Structure 1
Amino acid sequence: MNAQPTPAIDWDAVRADFPLLQREVHGKPLIYFDNANTGQKPACVIEAVDGFYRRHNANVSRAVHQLGSEATDAYEASRKALARFLNVRAEELVLCSGTTFAINLVAYSWALPRLQPGDAILVSRMEHHANIVPWQLVAERTGAVVRVVEIRDDGTLDQDALQQAMTPDVKLLALTHVSNVLGTVNPVREICRDARRRGIVTVIDGSQAVPHRRVDVAAIGCDFYAFTGHKMCGPTGTGALWARREHLHAMPPFLGGGEMIREVAFEGTVYNDPPHRFEAGTPNIAGFVGLGAAVAYLERLGMEQVERREAELLAHLTEELQRIDGLRIFGTAPDKAAVVAFLVEGAHAHDLATLLDLEGVAIRSGQHCAHPLLKFYGVAATCRASPAFYNTHAEIEGFVSALRKVRTLLA
Structure 2
Amino acid sequence: MGGKPAARQGDMTRKGLDIVQGSAGVLIGAPTGVACSVCPGGITYANPVNPLLGAKVLPGETDLALPGPLPFILSRAYSSYRTRTPAPVGVFGPGWKAPFDIRLQIRDEGLILNDNGGRSIHFEPLFPGEISYSRSESLWLARGGVAEQHSSQPLSALWQVLPEDVRLSPHVYLATNSLQGPWWILSWPERVPGADEVLPPEPPAYRVLTGVVDGFGRTLTFHRAAEGDVAGAVTGVTDGAGRCFHLVLTTQAQRAEAFRKQRATSLSSPAGPRFASSSSAFPDTLPAGTEYGADNGIRLEAVWLTHDPAYPDEQPTAPLARYTYTASGELRAVYDRSGTQVRGFTYDAEHAGRMVAHHYAGRPESRYRYDDTGRVTEQVNPEGLDYRFEYGERRVIITDSLNRREVLYTEGEGGLKRVVKKEHADGS
Asked if TM exceeds 0.5, the reply is no
Structure with greater strand percent? 2
Which category describes the TM-score, using the shorter chain as reference length?
under 0.3
Q: Which one has more relative contact order, counting CA pairs under 8 Å at least 6 apart?
A: 1
Structure with greater helix percent? 1
Compute the TM-score of the two structures, normalised by the length of structure 1: 0.24
Compute the TM-score of the two structures, normalised by the length of structure 2: 0.23
